Structure 1
């Protein structure tokens, strides 16, 4: 499960637009929205591309954003 708030905040802090990020990943804006809102999961290659684009280097930060356990 993706931490939507952290991911959106990081994209905004980098000054990027959602559509640009979607295109960078080879996704439509709608497809990216489905993934960022946890209706579909990011592929490993997409997580890797996002980490490169957003400058995410630490394993802790990757886990906080992309591998959040679902709250029940």
Structure 2
């Protein structure tokens, strides 16, 4: 399960909104919120978020593979 608090913090720190990140991922804001409420992200979503948020490997691992 993903560390949703850390993910939200990273989005906030990036200066991007959740709506913007969701759009970049090709989903609605509501779909992204639903995904965060059941934090079982698909591999393709992890890759997309890593690229959008420019996560380091350590940040990615800490958030999604803790």
Provide the TM-score with structure 2 as the length reference: 0.87
Provide the TM-score with structure 1 as the length reference: 0.81
Unpaired runs of 5+ in structure 1?
Answer: none
Q: Which of structure 1's runs of 4+ aligned residues deviate more than 2 A?
A: none
Name the CA distance, whole Å, in 2 between partners of 1:33 and 1:53.
17
RMSD: 1.3
Q: How many residues align?
A: 66
Which has more radius of gyration?
1
